[in-house]
Every structure is written in structure tokens, then in C-alpha cells.
Structure 1
Amino acid sequence: MTGHAWTLLIILAAAIAALILLINSRLRFHPFAALMTVSVGVALAAGEPVEKIADSLESGAGGILGNVGVTLAFGTMLGRLLSLSGATDRIARMIVDRAGTRSLPWYMTAAAFVIGIPTFFEIGLIVLLPLIFSVARRLQAEHDVKGSPYIYLATPAIAALATLHGMVAPHPGPLVAVEGLHANLGLTIGIGLICAIPTVIVAGPVYGRWIAPRLDVRPDPELIARFAGNEPAADNDATGTTGATGATGSGHGAGAPARRNTVRTGWALAAVLVPVALMLLRTLAELVCGEAGQVRHVLTFTGEPVPAMLAGFLFALFALGYRSGAGADEIRSSLTDSLKAVASILLIIAGGGAFNQVLEDSGIGKAVESAASGMHINVLLLGWLLALLLSFSTGSATVGIVAATGILAPVAGSGSSLHTALLVVAIGAGSIGLNYVNHAGFWLVKESFGMTLGQATKSHTAIQTIVSACGLLMALLISIWA
């Protein structure tokens, strides 16, 4: 470590502090503006030539949006089509329809796991609220659960949605890390799913069974009526769309969702799994097929994030969207609205790409690599810790994951493909933990279930922190064979 390298590391530490200050101070900078401002400051302080700073910002932001941004847009529209057609609600009701009281949390976990593959945490929770409220209301009337039936069912849903959102591509956070660390996408998805399953079990049904009797949570009756209808009989709506349309804000009143054609469950499940399957098949082809095989060329192309998500979107558009009974204008309007909802996330990702490029072009990345090589700390633990602290301090899991990825990108290049995939999972797990009052998801859960601040801490914050810790533990265990 030279004196110049130490100077660059000090600049990096000051940049992180400045980023936290700009976002959390009275100035309340938008994370995108904060990332771009700090990026310029880092470039100047590190001595990057002034004439190259603009190129670093543009290439960093544009490069990551060219892949992650387009993929995120298609994923968002896919999720909206699933919701608009009632497919997500149909999947959820199919999974929990025949469940007994004791097995309901496990079925709710499965429903949230499937629905969480193509949707963001907040969107997935809103889609599941009608089901959670209607089933919990039934349990409450039958006195089948000790404590709050709403926590009993919400805990596994929150755990599954949070785990997938942070640890499994093609969600934006893991996808940013895959791109920044040059990880194998299919392998990362596979490793993420392996780590996610036990994580969801511990943070979901297991923790939910323990915490539900200890929290007396009762949502506002008017909110329950809005999502689940005024009468328990509405739970068995034959169309399978009760609450799904109203929950996503399509403009129909509560209790009177738009009438849709019935969507077959098989088509709904296929729409969810098409992009993930294509990405996994790409990895399988790279392992099994020859270098010059035609099958490998086809699967390599279709397994790239953009073509895979485009295929999933087009499949959902024709198999679900047009067949649901919704008009073409309504579908287009709904898709446009869905893109508006993720505009802020796209900008944050662009800012993160600019920040990461500046770290590389200014030489800070090499200084980090040099320092990490002399530190006796596991890189997975370091990535998890950086993402955890940045996410907690900035109130944005996306900021946490993109900044941690940029800092550790030079280190990742020296590891195996499996180790790099595990680093993506560890960083993603870190970005989930300590989700508290400066995170939007915390307030969504708190207000949706009518919780006090303490109840939201014991439920939502605790669930996501358990997910974070278990995700890291799984990554560390698998790394023994990396």
C-alpha cells in the first residue's frame, strides 16, 4: 500500500460519508442527484483529468442502463400484466386454497415466492394483500390462530418477497451486482435460489409462528374491506380476481373489480417462469454443449437478460394480457403507468453506474483491491457489511447494492465464477437488512397492517434482518466448496 493508495481510500471513505449526508441531511438529495454529485467530487479529488470526467459519468450510467435498465423495464411490465390479468391472484389462491391452518404459512410462502420472481417487494405485497386479509379474516373469525392471524400470514409473504428482491436476479439489485461484478447470470440465479429457500423458511413460517402470538396487530377494517371485500364470502370469488385489480390501482372501486376472463393457472405460472428458465438454460448450455454447437448459440442469446425478459413479456402479453378481456388501450395505459413507477429506480441505478465507473477510472478501484488483498476479512462478509451499512444509512437498498458492487468489483475479478455468484448473493443479502424508518417498504408494511412503530420493528425490520443474516450464512457455507 503506497501513500497514494491510502489517499484514494480516504477519498472513498469521504465519498461514502458525503453520500449518506446528502441523502439524510435537511437537503434531502434524491439518491440519483447525490450519486452524481459525489461521483464528480470523487473524480476531481482523485485527480482524474477534467476532460475525462464527463466520459466516465456517461459511460458508467449508460452502460448499466443499457442492460439492467432495459431488463428492469421489461420485468416491470411483465409484473403489471400478471396483476392486470388476475394471474398473480389466481396463482396465490391456487396455492393456498386447500391449505389447513397450520400449513397456511407454508402455502403463503410458496405463493409469495412464485409471485416475487417477477415483481418488486412493494408491488408483490400489494398484490398479496387481498389474499392475506381475506384468509386472515377467516382465521380470526374461527379463532384458529393464537395472536394476530395477519402477522401469521404476512410474515412468510414479507420474507419471501424480500429475499427474492435482494438475492435473486432478475430483480434490479442482484442484476446490478451481476453486471458490475461480471458474474455468470444463470449460475447466480441458481445459487441465489439455493440460498433463498432455507432463508425464506427461517425468516418466514418459522419466525412467523413465533412472533404472531406476541403481536396484537389488527389492520383498519376499512382497509380490509377495500382489499378483501365487505363480506368473507367474497374470498371465494370464482373469477379469482378479487382485489387484484383494485389493489394495483387500476381505477375500479373496492369490492367491484373489473370482470376478467379466467386465466388458466398453467399459463400464469409459465409467464412467471419463462425468463428465469431461459437464463438458467443458458448456463446449462454453457456447461453441457460444445463451443460451436448451434443449440448453445441459441440458448446463449435467449438467456441474456434483455432477450429473456423480452420473451417473458411477449409471452405474458399474448397469453395473459389480451386474453384477459382488457382492451388494448387499457393494457398500454397500464404498462405506461408501471414504467412511471420505476423511473426513480432507473435513475438511481444510472447514478450508481456513474459512481462505479469513476471509482474505476480514478484508480480507487485498484486501491481497494490492494487493500483487500492485505486484509484478513472474508470478501463475502465485507460485501455484506458494506451493503448493509450503506442501505441502512441511505434508506435505499439499491444505493447499498450499487455502491458496494462498485467498491468490490476489482476484488471479484480474481475469484471463481461460483465465488463471484456468492458475492452477488452476499451483497444482495446485506442490502436487505436493518430495513427501518428511512425505507419506503417499512412504512408500506406498517401502514398496511395498522402497526405501531414497535410492532413494525419486531415484524418487518426483524424479518428482513433475519433474511439478511441467513442469506450471508448460506453464502458462507456454500463458499467452502467455491
Structure 2
Amino acid sequence: MTGHTWTLLIILAAAIAVLILLINSRLRFHPFVALMTVSIGVALAAGQPVEKIAESLESGAGGILGNVGVTLAFGAMLGRLLSGSGATDKIARLIVERSGERSLPWYMAGAAFIIGIPMFFEIGLIVLLPLIFSVARRLQDTHHVKGSPYVFLATPAIAALSTLHGMVAPHPGPLVAVEGLHANLGITIVVGLICAVPTIIIAGPVYGRWIAPRLDVHPDPELVAKFAGPATPDDTPANGSTPADGSTPADSPTPTGNKVRTGWALTAVLVPVVLMLLRTLAELVYDESSPVRHVLTFTGEPVIAMLAGFLFALFALGYRSDMTPDAIRTSLTDSLKAVAGILLIIAGGGAFNQVLEDSGIGKAVESAASGMHINVLILGWLLALLLSFSTGSATVGIVAATGILAPLAQSGSSLHTALLVVAIGAGSIGLNYVNHAGFWLVKESFGMSLGQATKSHTAIQTIVSVCGLLMALLLSIAA
């Protein structure tokens, strides 16, 4: 490598250090502001012409928001609609009520898997809390589970939700990586699902059965009552029914949606993913002149697929539920407010990535990586892991790692690029600790001590991260 290459690599290392410092120091910069500030500093230090810097920032931020931001907005509204209409509640209870006590963790993982397809980790967990609390309360009364029944059921839910959130599109992190690495979306979804299934099994039901007897976790009874309803002598939470007197806490987040049918609910969850997969199938089966390919390519574009899924859910679920049109509109508006911060972080990441490309740092990374002979999947996983752990944001970990490794993905096959997306996403999940919002959500929801939350939530996320990487490596060897 030349002296200029080394200089660019030093600038990159310094930029990452400053980014971590700005986010974690007493200044507590918002990740968006930190990314934009560091991007300008990198451009100046790398010698990029001053008149081109603003153009790089705007094109980078605007480009990623145009491709990912609109899709993410539709995804957020779809998730809120599914939750508010009662669709996700129906799906979860349908799955769990058919299970026996020994198979409950497996069915809980299945429920979380389906619900986790359109929902962020935090939102999906909140949606599942009434089910987890009500079923765990029954198990606690029967004494058929060793240790904490709450950990017994929460572990597979956390494993499934976090795996899908980090490794499977159309979640924002994988979508950002797909866009930045120019990966095939359909192949990436298939690869992500293949890697996700064994990962969820190991980090969920298997680890949950081992760790539950070792943790004495019991949430605040008032919080349990708020989510699952007051306990009664003949409480039957396993099938999701309300208490015998029909009462429900006034502030219970359990959705309405008596008119929602389970079949429609399942269809609404799967519509976007199926449309994206059909696009990939059409590209493999039909030639470029085929009308079928043109139609499926159009409907399989992420923004079109998410819009189609949202509109289907709006008419099949939203307007058929107990929610009024005004309530639906208010709920959808609130869902967009909830993802505004993520959209800004993605925009900042797009600007950072564009600066790395325009300043030549991306080529320097490519040159260094080729000289080190390190597996690019391991490198992507490690970068995302360290950045996510250091900044407290999985999204920052993904967007920064994607920008750094984008030049290395250009020469790889479609499958290898898809595996790199999964590896980066898996890395962003690991070591989820006190500087992550999800850690505190789990800790406070289940009344855990810091040590208990580390042994459960942090350990689950790290197992998911390692297993996701191992699955990606196995598939790369098999291919």
C-alpha cells in the first residue's frame, strides 16, 4: 500500500473514534448530527474539494432516504396498523393456544417470528408482552417450569425479534445494507431467513430452557396486570382469553379488532415479503422481455411491495376492526413520529458512506483488506459489532460498516453480497448492553437486575450475532 492509502486509513480510524466519542461523551450528540459532523471532517482531512463536500452530503443522504426511507415509513405504518387492529394479537394467540407447556417456547418463537417480519424489535416485544405475561402467569401457578417462566417465554421472543430485526429485510438495517452493497433483495431475504431459523432455535428455545432455571425473574405484578389483565382463580391466559368477569384494565394496551380474521392478518404480514421474493423468482425464470417479469419486478420493488402490504392491511384489517378512520389516521401519524430518529440516522449514514466513496477512503479499505487476506464476512461482522456496541445503535453499526465495505462487495457474486448483508446485520445485534434502548426495555419490562438482564438479553443477542455469522460462513463455504 502507498503512503496515501495509509493516510486515508488513519483518517478513517480517527473518524470512527471521533464518532464514538461524540455519541458517548458528555456532549451526547445525536447519531445523525455526529455522522454529519464526522462526514465533513473526513472530507476535509482527505482533501476532497470544498465545493464538492455539500454535494456529497446531500446526494448521500437523499439517495439512501429515497430508496430506504419511504420503504421504512410504509413499514412503520404497516406495523402500527397490524398492532392497532388486533391482527398481531390474533396471530400470536392462535399459535400459542395450540401448544402444550413443553412446546410453548417453540410456539412463542414462531409467533415472534411472524410478528417480527414487519415490526421493529421494541415494538414487537411490546406487542407480545400481554401474551408472554398471561401465559407465564399460568405457568407460574402450575409450577411445571423450573425457574422463571417469564424468562422461559421471553427468551425465544427476544431471539426471534432481534434476529429478524438485524438480519432479514424489510427491516431498516438490512435494507440499508442491501442498498449500500447493491445486493439482490430477494436473494438476501431468502439467505437471511435460512440463517435466521437455526439462529432463533439456538438463541431462543434452547438457550431459554437452560437459562430460565438459573434466573429468579418476576415482573412487577401491577405491570403484569396492566398488560395481561388482573389474575383470577380460573385465569386461562394460554388461550388469550380475558378474565372470567370480562374486565380489562382501562389502560391495557391489548388491541381491539374483534372483526379481524386470522387469515387476513397472516396475509397482511406476508404480502410485502412474498412480493419481493416473487420479483427475484421472476428474474431467474423469465427473460427480460416477458410481461410477467416486468409486472413482478415492479410489484417487488421494496417501496411498491410495502405500499401494497400497507394498503391491503388498511382495507382488510384497519377499516374492518373496531378502530374509527380518525383513530387509524392518528395511529399512523404517531408511527411515523416513532421512526423519525431512525430515518435521520440512516440519512447521516448515507452522507458518511458517500463521503468515504468520494474521498477515496473506500478504495483504500479495499486495498488494505485485499492485503490482509481476512474473510470479508468476518470483517463486516466485526466492524458492525464494534460500532454498534460503541455507539449504542445497531443502525449506526450497519450504515457505517456498509459504507466501509461497499467497495469490497462490488466484485462478489449475488449470493456472497447477500451473505455480507446478513453478516453485517448479525454483527450489529451482538453485545447489546446498557447503551442500547432495547436492553432497558427488556430489563424494566421484566423487573430484572442489571446482572439478570446481561445474562438474558445481552447473552441472547450475542448468541444470535455469533450464530448468524456462523450460518453465513457455512453457506459461503457450501456455495
Q: Same fold (TM over 0.5)?
A: yes
Q: Which amino acid aligns with 1:278?
A: L
1:76-123 Cα distance to aligned partner (Å, 9 max, x none): 000000001111010000001021111000000000000000000000
C-alpha distance in 2, partners of 1:115/1:69?
21
C-alpha distance in 1, partners of 2:308/2:225?
37
Q: Which amino acid aligns with 1:88?
A: T
Whether 1:293 aligns to 2:290 is: yes
C-alpha distance in 2, partners of 1:51/1:284?
44
- Of 465, 468, 473 in structure 2, the residue corresponding to residue 471 of structure 1 is 468
Q: Unpaired runs of 5+ in structure 1?
A: none
Matches within 5 A, 1:244-259: 253-255=250-252, 259=256
C-alpha distance in 1, partners of 2:201/2:255?
35
1:48-73 Cα distance to aligned partner (Å, 9 max, x none): 00000000000000000001100000
Q: Which residue of 2 aligns with 1:67?
A: 67
1:115-136 Cα distance to aligned partner (Å, 9 max, x none): 0000000000000000000000
SS in 1 for 2:432: coil
C-alpha distance in 2, partners of 1:258/1:457?
31
Contact 2:75/2:119 (<8 A) preserved: yes
C-alpha distance in 2, partners of 1:105/1:237?
12
Contact 1:168/1:193 (<8 A) preserved: yes
Q: Which amino acid aligns with 2:467?
A: C
Q: Which residue of 2 aligns with 1:176?
A: 176
Question: CA shift at 1:241, angstroms?
Answer: 9.0
SS in 1 for 2:27: coil
1:374-429 Cα distance to aligned partner (Å, 9 max, x none): 11210000000000000000000000000000000000001000000000000000
Matches within 5 A, 1:127-146: 127-146=127-146
Whether 1:376 aligns to 2:373 is: yes
C-alpha distance in 2, partners of 1:149/1:263?
30
Shift in alpha-carbon separation, 1:124–1:291, aligned structure 2, 3 A? same
Q: Which residue of 2 aligns with 1:57?
A: 57
Q: Which amino acid aligns with 2:40?
A: V
- Of 397, 415, 425 in structure 1, the residue corresponding to residue 412 of structure 2 is 415
SS in 2 for 1:144: coil
Q: Which residue of 2 aligns with 1:445?
A: 442
Q: Which residue of 1 aligns with 2:148?
A: 148
C-alpha distance in 2, partners of 1:260/1:71?
26
- Of 305, 308, 311 in structure 2, the residue corresponding to residue 311 of structure 1 is 308
Matches within 5 A, 1:400-439: 400-439=397-436
Q: Which residue of 2 aligns with 1:112?
A: 112
Q: Which residue of 1 aligns with 2:338?
A: 341
Question: CA shift at 1:481, angstroms?
Answer: 3.3
1:240-296 Cα distance to aligned partner (Å, 9 max, x none): 799xxxx9xxxx823596753331110000000000000000010011111210000
C-alpha distance in 2, partners of 1:235/1:70?
42
Whether 1:272 aligns to 2:290 is: no
* TM-score, with structure 1 as normaliser: 0.96
Question: CA shift at 1:465, angstroms?
Answer: 0.1
C-alpha distance in 2, partners of 1:237/1:376?
53
Q: Which amino acid aligns with 1:395?
A: G
C-alpha distance in 2, partners of 1:408/1:258?
43
Whether 1:43 aligns to 2:40 is: no
C-alpha distance in 2, partners of 1:480/1:125?
34
- Of 370, 384, 389 in structure 1, the residue corresponding to residue 386 of structure 2 is 389
Q: Unpaired runs of 5+ in structure 2?
A: none
Shift in alpha-carbon separation, 1:324–1:239, aligned structure 2, 3 A? farther
Contact 1:228/1:234 (<8 A) preserved: no
C-alpha distance in 2, partners of 1:113/1:423?
22
Contact 1:353/1:402 (<8 A) preserved: yes
Shift in alpha-carbon separation, 1:172–1:256, aligned structure 2, 3 A? closer
Name segments (4+ residues, structure 1) moved above 2 Å: 231-242, 252-262
Contact 1:159/1:464 (<8 A) preserved: yes
Contact 2:151/2:217 (<8 A) preserved: yes
C-alpha distance in 2, partners of 1:379/1:223?
45
C-alpha distance in 1, partners of 2:222/2:394?
31
